[in-house]
Chains A and B, each alone.
Chain A
Amino acid sequence: MSATPLLELRGIDKSFGPVQVLRDVALSAYPGEVTALVGDNGAGKSTLVKCISGIYATDAGEFFFEGQPVQINSPRDASALGIEVVYQDLALCDNLDIVQNMFLGREKRSGLVLDEATMEQLAGQTLAGLSVRTVKSLRQHVSSLSGGQRQTVAIAKAVLWNSKLVILDEPTAALGVAQTAQVLELVRRLADRGLAVILISHNMNDVFAVSDRIAALYLGRMAAQVKTNEITHAQVVELITAGRSGQLGLRDENGTEYADLTTPGADA
């Protein structure tokens, strides 16, 4: 495990008109680790991800990738660095098959003609490398796949590109128990292969099952980023709902406007 974060954000600010969605956010993602990004609805998780993936421009703040300062101004910049995002439900084209989906936007060609044989081979290798064996045929339309299989294809698509950082937006939100286990196992395997993974999730069980670090956003600010084995379930819930938990979290001088509302320990 490397001491240098693969991706480090410092002092990220983002406003939409008068509404400040992100305030002075810092976040680090390490290679070989799963960093869970948690937070209540509206805490700014999705906005933060869209800043990382280049969809939104930040108002202030710095990005460091492999220790070097970088600019991410478009999704193209992000993918050039090796950052891939797996979106919750927008990721796949139902009427295309698995291979076509995995290579969408980066098709292999020989001259004018699409090189289907090579793409099918590479897709097969990638899925095999991730120990995915549940799909019957690589030429199946994605519409005929189960939710878990779809998520698997979406993740495999992100991995195909020698990506270094994969961001997963609630990959298990719509899945049943068995399929959730499948996808979490796959997420773990990505990190074991040396990728940095950022997992956005609402589900505490998922977070504790698979993550190495937990970053908790509270009302647009990073309440805490801690190692998963140094924090309890209840503390994470407190960070999410109150922004602080004991020694952890936002201190009063930064958060006076809402400190009065918190009742420490109420949820514990």
Chain B
Amino acid sequence: MAFPLTDGTETAARPNWLTAAKNRLQQLLAFASLIVIFTFFALANSAFPTYSNVINILFSTVVIGTLALGTTFVIITGGIDLSIGTGMALCAVMSGVFIVDAGLPVALGVPAAVLFGGLIGLVNGVNVAVLKLPPFIATLAMMLVAQGLALVISKSTPIYFSDHPGYTKISTGELIPALNIPNAVVVLLAAAVLAGFLLSRTLLGRYTYSIGSNEAATALSGINVRRWKVVVYTLAGLFTGLAGVLISARLGSAQPATGMGYELQAIAAVVIGGTSLAGGKGSIIGTMIGALIISVLNNGLQIMSIPQEWQNVILGLVILVAVYADMVRKKET
């Protein structure tokens, strides 16, 4: 038979690693940008490339990075989660309620606070997947609810962990004394490894991509799309809870009025890292690079004494460039 299918002219095999590299181009671009930005600041100011400042940068990546991990899953499914910022504040308050007010030991209070974050995510998931509310609206509503609840529960006053030195150690302690690396950085790294594993090696990750890529095809393949969406939003909630613990442990207090704005920084990190807001595409490594780019920019501009207002302008421009570069790349392939 002379059908083109079997004539064998196109059998030249392309190595799988090359295909994989092509699929990961956006992450390579983001990584290259990180190096360029870092080098720029290193040349511009000698106070920038010191060990303690690098640790500083990593430390300031922790909260945005942790929030961005869960957000990566949500955005890959084609959704969005605006509730993670104030949700984090609410979880910090709940951590205070569990540990300071109710007197739970830290070893119980911390998991309880993280699970509370999961509960917030579960509600988001049910609203989006079962009640079919648009993710933007459902999580916008949750953002307001969480902000309000954080203030109501704490009576608008910060909860201090001064009597619980073990709690602040979660963020500021140093597990490996010689390296001077705060525990929060180690926790972020562990959380990122876990998230990367879930996204690239498990069913949850596979269905996260397939739902974002083609929800109808996923459903026709016999996959319970609703259930997996609920799982994804719940996972984002768990990371929100973890971020709430990390930020309150770092500050030594739960600040109920904070949180607003963190969700946008986390979403920015995810997008800079090459995750498409249209869904179906993204990675944890990319998100981590995106979060690092944001904190390197913040840190470097601060060291160069650029006013905060201009830092925001520059960050905004970086997001525009990152998304535009992604679009140009898509047109070319």
Contacts and interface: CB of A to CB of B under 8 A. Distances in A.
| A and B bind | yes
Given A104-B218, A136-B10, A144 B4 contact: no
A104 B19 CA distance: 20
Contacts, number: 106
A79 B5 contact: no
A79 B209 contact: no
B221 A104 contact: yes
A56 to B, nearest CB: 14
B214 A152 contact: no
B4 A178 contact: yes
A95 B23 CA distance: 9
A90 B10 contact: no
Interface in B220-251: 220-223
B256 interface: no
Contacts of A131: 5-6
Q: Tell which of A104, A109, A138 has the most Cβ of chain B within 10 Å.
A: A104
Nearest to B12: A136
A76 interface: yes
Nearest to A79: B222
Interface in B195-229: 201-203, 206, 209-210, 212-214, 216-218, 220-223
Interface in B3-32: 3-6, 8, 10-16, 19-20, 23
A21 interface: no
Nearest to A130: B5
B1 interface: yes
Interface of B: 1, 3-6, 8, 10-16, 19-20, 23, 201-203, 206, 209-210, 212-214, 216-218, 220-223, 280-281, 333
13 contacts: A75-B220, A76-B222, A79-B222, A85-B220, A104-B218, A113-B202, A114-B202, A132-B5, A134-B4, A138-B16, A181-B3, A182-B3, A185-B3
Interface of A: 75-76, 79, 85, 87, 90-97, 100, 104-107, 109, 112-114, 131-134, 136-141, 144, 148, 152, 178-179, 181-182, 185-186
Give the top 3 A-B pairs by smallest Cβ distance, nearest first: A105-B221, A93-B213, A95-B280
Given A112-B202, A139-B19, 17 more contacts: A75-B220, A90-B217, A91-B220, A97-B19, A104-B217, A104-B218, A104-B221, A105-B218, A105-B223, A106-B222, A113-B202, A131-B5, A132-B5, A133-B5, A133-B8, A136-B19, A182-B5
